[in-house]
Amino acid sequence: MIRSIWIVSAVFLLLVGCQDQGQGPGDLNPIKQSGPQAEIDGVEMKLELDKATYAEDEMVVAVVTITNHNDESQPITLIVDDGLAWESYALAQHQAEKWFGNFQAVDKIEGKQGGGSDNTRVYTLEPNEILEQHFEWDQRVTDFVIDYESDLRQQQIPGPTGKYDIKALVMIGDVTAIPGGNVDEMTQQFDALPQLAVQSSVEILGDRKVMGSEQAKALVLADKKAGEWYRAHSYEELVWKRRGDWYQKDVDGSDVKITKEMAEQLKGLAPRLAGGKRTDDTLTLEYGATLGDAPHSMIVEIDTVKNNVAAVTFKE
């Protein structure tokens, strides 16, 4: 039995862009390519793309086929998009950056809501059913900058060109069958569901560059004024050990004795990106700190054309 349904946000699709390994556009096979097939507990999944290379702004088309080879029905749990940008189920990684994009499914599927969450749906495959699902991606990604003027919602922007891995993932089993109660136990049972995943790849041709979080952070750290503030409000300068005791620099700048356990919990502490704004040639970022001397907020303006820090200001 074959069922082709137009789905909205059903299968978990990931895009992970990779660095150029010296392979040019001419080295990629332009014919239709299929991701590896995978099978768990008699459920098989296959990912197909309509081609291997795309021009800038061209729609990327993916087809996911899920086949139940069993003589019994089999529930599967699908990660779905609830419309919130930060819940998107597409991830794009370009060079050292991680970009979130969103495959829009062209077909709809009706499934029961799973686990009290708007982000999961349970669909039951009938014996020997073949479910074909169609998706499109417009090459837009979720900006890591939370724009001041967007009601604290991350914006969708054209993603950088380059190579991308595209993955599809479903979980075998019914998440709604997990009993309520202890959150840790529910999480363990959810994580224990077998994950069926396949992967393929494409390349977006062109020269569209987008400054990402890691590149911006590197420029901030390289700038004398901004870098000094950032490091002064990071773990390495906020927490230290002296004569067997642990201390931290408190929010008022005073030295406070803490436990070893607290020192462990603070590891990795660094200024948090609180928001910002992106224009055609500038990226404005605001960082906030919870410990250390005042000021506790820094605003950095980056020239994305010259790739340097243009201005640094502080505020409380």
Residue 110, helix vs strand vs coil: coil
Residue with tokens 């899920």: 66
Average pLDDT estimate for 146-174: 78
Q: In what order do the strands lie in the sheet with 272-278?
A: 272-278, 282-288, 297-303, 308-315
Of 107-116, 145-154, 258-267, highest mean pLDDT: 258-267
Establish how many alpha carbons lie within 13 A of residue 232's alpha carbon, considering only the half-sphere containing its beta carbon: 15
Q: Answer for the pair 267, 286: CB distance below 8 angstroms, yes or no.
A: no
- Domain ranges in the chain? 2-204, 213-315
Mean pLDDT rounded to a whole number for the chain: 78
Residue 151: pLDDT band with limits 50, 70, 90: low
Backbone angles phi, psi at 99, to 5 degrees: -120, 135
pLDDT tens-place string over residues 276-305: 889 889 999 999 999 999 999 999 999 999
> Which carries the bigger pLDDT value, residue 256 or residue 132?
256
Phi-psi region of 52 (alpha: psi -120 to 50; beta: other; left: phi over 0): alpha
Tens-place pLDDT, residues 170-181: 888 887 777 666
> Cβ of 316: how many Cβ atoms within 10 Å?
6
Supply angle C-alpha 44, 202, 48, rounded to 5: 25
Residue showing tokens 């699709």: 13
Q: How far is CA 38 from the centre of its chain?
A: 23
Residue 61 CA, distance from chain mean position: 20
Q: Are 34 and 165 in contact (CB under 8 A)?
A: no
Per-residue model confidence as pLDDT tens digits over 246-271? 999 998 889 999 999 999 999 999 99
Whether residue 69 has pLDDT greater than 60: yes
**What is the structure's pLDDT at 83?**
40
Helices within 183-316 (DSSP H only): 183-191, 213-222, 224-232, 235-238, 260-265
Among 300, 297, 289, which Cα is nearest to 215's? 300
**pLDDT reported for residue 97:** 66
More reliable by pLDDT, 11 or 102 = 102
Task: Write down the pLDDT at residue 96.
Answer: 43
Residue 20's pLDDT is 37
> Using CA of residue 232, residue 233, residue 239, residue 242, what is the dihedral sign?
positive
Residue that is written with structure tokens 């059903």 in the block: 10
Q: What percent of the chain has pLDDT over 70?
A: 75
Q: Which of 37-41, 95-99, 146-150, 255-259 has the lowest mean pLDDT?
A: 95-99
2-204: what fold? Immunoglobulin-like (2.60.40)
Q: Is 194 helix (H, G, I), strand (E, B) or coil?
A: coil
Helix (H, G, I), strand (E, B) or coil at 280: coil
Q: Strand, helix or coil at 192?
A: coil
Helices 224-232 and 213-222: crossing angle in degrees, nearest 10, is 100
What's the predicted TM-score (pTM) here?
A: 0.72
- Rounded CA separation 274/103 (Å): 27
Helix segments in the chain, DSSP class H: 183-191, 213-222, 224-232, 235-238, 260-265
Average pLDDT score over residue span 146-154: 65
Residue whose C-alpha is closest to residue 17's, from 160, 157, 135: 160
- Average pLDDT, integer, range 32-52: 79
